[in-house]
Amino acid sequence: MSITTQRGLGRIGSTVAGLTAATAIVVFAAPHANATVDSVTVSGATHQLGQTYTLKAKLSGASIGLLVYWTDNGQDISGPKVPWPVGESSIEWTPTTPGQHLITASQGGSTKTVVVNVVDPNAPDPDPDPDPGTDPGSGSSAGSGGLGDLLGGLAGSS
């Protein structure tokens, strides 16, 4: 083998190594760049403990086929889901605790969160409406003679 042939093989090896490294950078960087979670919605208006609701995410971007992950207050609620139909991901969700829930859909590097307040239909009303007959702001009370009597008493009239 001549020296010229060895130099030629060395150049080819360097070129292949450089192209491999450049390809690896592109492949590893690309998926996160174009996955977008556009919106997250929850079916229903009043959300109650023990009822089932549909969570839906609208997706876009070149990496629209990446797996979607759903969480409730940071806890996984579905495992990874393949978006189907294309551009959407939906799951059924049944809240097990009352209070505020942060529902998040994540795809690639994109996330969207919606706040859902869940009530327990069996819990007592924390702020019941006052009885109209006992409202302290009604302005009348038995035994008061009115403003004129009060002012007259201050002026010293008998």
pLDDT score, position 128: 72
- Who contacts 96 (Cβ-Cβ below 8 Å, separation ≥6)? 49, 50
Beta bridge partners of 91: 55
- Where is 33: in which H helix or E strand? helix 3-33
Averaged pLDDT for residues 100-117: 97
Percent of the chain with pLDDT over 70: 60
Strands (E), the chain: 36-42, 47-48, 53-60, 68-72, 75-76, 88-93, 99-107, 110-119
Using one digit for the tens of pLDDT, what is the confidence trace for 26-79? 444 444 458 999 999 999 999 999 999 999 999 999 999 999 999 999 999 999
